[in-house]
Amino acid sequence: MLENKNTENTSLESLGEFGLIEHLTKNFTLKNESSIKGIGDDAAVLDFKENKAVISTDLLIEGVHFDLSYMPLKHLGYKSVMVNLSDIYAMNAKATQVTVSIAVSNRFPLEALEEFYSGVELAAEIYNVDVVGGDTTSSTKGMLISITAIGESKEEDITYRNGARPNDLLVVSGDLGAAYCGLQVLEREKEVFKVNPNSNPDLSMYTYIVERQLKPEARRDIVELLKTLDVKPTSMIDISDGLSSEILHLCKQSGVGCNLFEDKIPLDPTVIAACEEFNIDSTLVALSGGEDYELLFTIDQKEFLKIKGNPNLTVVGHMTDQNEGAHLISRNNSKIPLTAQGWNSFSND
């Protein structure tokens, strides 16, 4: 897909580094009042006035975090931004800017980078963030993406990981496990394609889970919903490495324990169907699958009525004293210690 066999493609050498940045970002306009100066100087200039700034950064590597054999570049640009905005929303803040740096080898034509940047632009448009900086350089192998997301918030609204208290309710947005199931479908189709390049698979029954893998949405809407409902979470984190790993982060940093109820974990019917097809346990997928980019947060019990019945939010457990530990309460009522089985980028598994 990406091999530069099309003679109409434009080589990156022909543009040069400065020409490339100018070309790729020429349509980007600044939409936020806090964006004073964007791309084009030594640094971007931002103005958060009395608000606090929140900043998060991520490095994404081809072959480790994404596979270009089934990840279209436009989706990759979109997802790269989402992954970082998700961290800003997990602070209960408003995302306002991103910087986008990429390194690619010479095998990428200009048109491939344009595809990537069109995904970045779409994400910036929909989520109302400004692309204010970045760097474009060459790599010796494959594609590397580094994104920094910046946001702002009133001090009193910022939600850390360390504010959960015993008896707080544990709440998750959306549903879990779909991104991991989507990845299984894509990996399987990749293997099929290797054997039979003419295969034309019908993936329509997997639309939801494949979309959750290829085009996740960061939950800006949940941050806005919580403000509308007048709910201030006591702690919050986004679910990038699986529910289990994130719960343990909240527990460790807040100095509390947790009871998570297996029968409360929100699963889409297509996730349950895919887990049956792939013969994997759906609870395990939700606990350890990762890449859901949902928000996990704790609230005081007295806030429960404000969120009760909201289709976007599910109470999945409650926090306990630290010495009780963190457990999954299974459907048959046994108590299983939660372990961090989140994605470990240094393991060879």
Of 158-177, binders to its own copies (CB under 8 A) are: 158, 160-162
Of 242-281, binders to its own copies (CB under 8 A) are: 253
Per CB under 8 A, the list member of 27, 69, 106, 334 interacting with its own copies is 106
CB 10 within 8 A of CB 109: yes
Residue 291 binds its own copies (CB under 8 A): no
- Closest approach, Cβ 170 to its own copies, in A, equals 17
- Closest approach, Cβ 106 to its own copies, in A, equals 7
Quick one: three-class SS letters along 207-276? HHHHHHHHCCCCCHHHHHHHHHCCCCCCEEEEECCCHHHHHHHHHHHHCEEEEEEHHHCCCCHHHHHHHH
Q: Would the annotation count 161 as a binding residue?
A: yes
Q: Would the annotation count 343 as a binding residue?
A: yes
Asked whether the CA dihedral 72, 77, 80, 83 is positive or negative, the reply is negative
Give the binding-site size for its own copies (rule: CB under 8 A): 76
Question: Hey, is 184 helix, strand or coil?
Answer: helix
Residue 149 binds its own copies (CB under 8 A): yes
Of 55-74, binders to its own copies (CB under 8 A) are: 55-59, 61-65
Q: Which stretch binds its own copies (CB under 8 A): 94-102, 201-209, 221-229, 279-287?
A: 94-102
Token pair 């997997």 is found at: 206
Per CB under 8 A, the list member of 3, 16, 33, 301 interacting with its own copies is 16
List CB contacts of 60: < 8 A, sequence separation 6 or more.
66, 80, 83, 144, 145, 146, 147
Q: Which stretch binds its own copies (CB under 8 A): 17-25, 122-130, 191-199, 267-275?
A: 17-25
CB 259 within 8 A of CB 317: yes
Q: Would the annotation count 57 as a binding residue?
A: yes
Q: How many CA atoms does the CB half-sphere of 117 hold within 13 Å?
A: 25
CB 311 within 8 A of CB 172: no
- Closest approach, Cβ 204 to its own copies, in A, equals 33
Residues forming the annotated binding site?
Answer: 42, 56-58, 65, 87, 117, 134-135, 161, 238, 240-241, 291, 343
